[in-house]
Amino acid sequence: MIPRHHPEMAQLLDYATGSAAEPVALLIASHLALCPACRRDVAALDSIGGCMLEDSDPVPLAEGSFERLMDRLRGEAPPEEPDGGTQDEPDSPFDPLPLPLRRYLPKGLRGLSWSSLAGGRIRIAELLPPVGSLRTQLVHVRAGSSILPHTHRGMEMSLILSGGYTDEYGQFLRGDVETADDTVTHRPVADTGADCLTLTLVAGDLRFVGPVGTLLSPFIKS
């Protein structure tokens, strides 16, 4: 399955230059394990970075020249790697985890401390200690269950690891990345047929919209 929703180019650039915070770098690396297109882009960015280091007098790029350079460098892409991942447990209901994420889970998904919400329809585990206000979570949503409509005080970035969900912006499946901020209101609903597992970064609180506002739990039954 080829991902259709990718990180923004600025995020790939941060990753390529090593300036992304660890949670973001982990999410991008996990996406790269599943996305040949972004692997080519990052390889191209690495090439550009090498060129810039050799040029001590950088000049601003003309409009569109960056895209043309990317197009040219895409022709020099490295060979594709196999779809990264190993099975978490033999009886895991999920697709194999990408290798960069697997390294953070020496005891597998079951080694995490999961909080259960909405009668077990949603489970959340903190993967890393917070970095500032940025939390790194694995979110498991049962097939067909939904999260209340919400917007964000900060960034929310999700990588779909298994299953999928659909919101106002489309359907997101394994390997897809959705980035949201305070301009985005969405109500993700896990697709029916398979549970959904995401790696989700959240900076700041979610803000729930609608007549009940913040009085309700964010998580409701399907």
Give contact residues for Zn ion (rule: CB under 5 A).
Answer: 3, 6, 35, 38
CA dist., res. 42 & res. 118, Å (int) = 39
Q: Which of 90, 196, 193, 188 is nearest to 142 (CA)?
A: 196
Is residue 194 within 8 Å of 126, Cβ to Cβ?
no
CB of 135 to Zn ion, least distance (A): 23
Helices and strands in the chain: count of H runs, count of E runs? 5, 13
Minimum CB distance to Zn ion smaller for 38 or for 202: 38
Pairing of strands 156-162, 219-220: unpaired
Minimum CB distance to Zn ion smaller for 1 or for 212: 1
CA dist., res. 166 & res. 164, Å (int) = 7
CB of 106 to Zn ion, least distance (A): 27
CB of 200 to Zn ion, least distance (A): 17
* DSSP-derived 3-state class of residue 220: strand
Minimum CB distance to Zn ion smaller for 6 or for 102: 6
Minimum CB distance to Zn ion smaller for 48 or for 220: 48
Minimum CB distance to Zn ion smaller for 16 or for 117: 16
CB of 44 to Zn ion, least distance (A): 13
CA dist., res. 71 & res. 132, Å (int) = 37
CB of 210 to Zn ion, least distance (A): 33
* DSSP-derived 3-state class of residue 7: coil
Is residue 199 within 8 Å of 176, Cβ to Cβ?
no
